[in-house]
Structure 1
Amino acid sequence: MATRIEHDITEEENNKLKGPQAGPRVFQIVYRNLVVFAYWHLAAIYGLYLCFTSAKFATIIFGFTLYVLAEIGVTAGAHRLWSHKTYKAKLPLQILLMVMNTVAFQNSIIDWVRDHRLHHKYSDTDADPHNATRGFFYSHVGWLLVRKHEEVKKKGKVMDIYAIPFIGAVCFVLPTVIPMYFWSETLKNAWHITMLRYVMNLNVTFLVNSAAHLWGYKPYDKSILPAQNITVSVATFGEGFHNYHHAFPWDYRTAELGNQYLNLTAVFIDFFAMIGWAYDLKTVSEDTIKRRKERTGDGTNLWGWDDKDLSREDKEGAVVLYAEVIKEE
């Protein structure tokens, strides 16, 4: 059963969360990170080539399965559970999500949660680790290649973190060894397809920080950079409804309607809620959403929203139709 949160953030409350605005800055490159990221991406490109030339089909399917599990580990675990506490999870689900998140290996859960809470509290300012006002490349991956801004360091020290890290070799070693042991894949193929899967997970997650802060519509809050980006939502299993998420970060769906076919993460959480492993799922009432859209949205509301006879299925269908219109324009 989901719990509806009736609280609607006022402009005054929202302004209190704003940090210092971005200014000119000389970047200090971390060359070790630059070399590591360059190798990862070159190895991933080679892994993609091997998928079409010599890799076994079982290895490709195995890599894709790990990609899905790892991405949900980030979206349902590090993001919706530990960063925002949009729902509660019993121990078996917590362990499962920690393992899945480790396959993605985007630093420890503690680091991920700290950076993400900074991103929300000081969104698109100097205290935001991946400040989108500094451009696509910086918000996508550049922030990991340079020294942290002093505001990020200062504000990061006061963030409250409650998470249990689980870091291990399961991101690289097991995904490489399993294909070699069980279906005699070569080390070259197994390793480079592991790198392909890993880099895909990284870049898809990074798109939420970059593309979803630069392109899309803003029906909930036109004053912020985060936007509704359908393409990012598909790639990240529901994380691209970003204008909604920044307006209502406590909603476990990260989207107004759930949009189950574009939001695999919500489906995942709903399934475990059904079997009792997830509970206290938080959502936002339709009235609160409507008031926020009328007060701060850019006017791109869904057609027929006020029609009391419109079913939930019709509303969800309108999301896809609206996305197609935006794409054509």
Structure 2
Amino acid sequence: MRKIEIEGSKIYVGESYQNITKYLPDAQIIMISDMNVYTHYKHFIDKYDNIIIPTGEKSKNWSTVALIVEELLKLKADRNTFLVGMGGGVVTDITGFVASVFMRGVRFGFIASSLLAQVDASLGGKNGINFHTFKNMIGVFNTPEFVICDAELLKTLPKREVQSGFGEIIKHALIKDHELFVYLKENYKLLLELENRTLEFVIWKAIGIKALVVSNDWLEKGERKQLNFGHTLGHAIENNSDYTHGEAVAVGMYWASKWSVEKGILSETDFAEVQHILKLYRLPINFSLDKYILTSYLLKDKKKHGSAIDFVFLKEIGAAQVMSVPMEELVRAIERL
């Protein structure tokens, strides 16, 4: 087992979810999960008071927050209650958000059951919900006391969800770690087969990258913005199509890399490497979506400031650059897709 700390939050890679009692306080424990996770792990979740929410990104909204709060009151939760979110990014996001606002805040922790949650969504203290079609428009910064990342949990995931998680791991490598990028290329077969030792190493490396970036820039004023590589277009695609988060981010990374070449920031050779690794992990690089819908969404992106937006370009494999780009230039670039 490996342990990493991010702003007071302890991340345990390779720890069994069944050992959670080691990390729980002597208090009322209420577990929050979704129907998919509950189906697989009912025997474990039913050991605790629990609240089961609908599955999927569409449930990350005010209605689900209200449902959880109503159930918390029925369970007689108070300020000493400890919440555990067991699930993917939707569950961890909404659990962290509810824990931050219920009775002005209660303690909480996560069991991250998807690859995406283990390497990204459950880490860094961002908790939130969507508002209409706008992703994570309402949220807070607040860290869980612990995150358990058990690779065994990933074996019940659909293959598509596994590939989605690798989209974020590839992003971490592209912006910060050339050696990890090479490792991902050389070991892609073992990783897609979820070989435990190889997978745990990659999860640990990806978490380490995020931990370093977040520690340097907790409130996303500078370096942390690099973690948005591929997300500007990616979020627009995700919220207007049936692409998963990782699939949409993969398209966003491909396009951001292509634009980086057009602007003379990235070499054609490195751009070919980006295309190659996305194909190895069976992630898409194209999409079919009305460009008017895309640009309308982008004009309301929360990274926008005034008439410009902070956009993440790729300089080389392992290094990114954030530049303020006029929205008009971004829209013209989208139109050339």
TM-score by length of structure 2 reads 0.30
Q: Would you tell me which structure has more strand in proportion to its own residues?
A: 2
Higher helix share: 1
Larger Rg: 1
Higher relative contact order (CA 8 A, sep 6+): 1
TM-score, structure 1 length as denominator?
A: 0.30
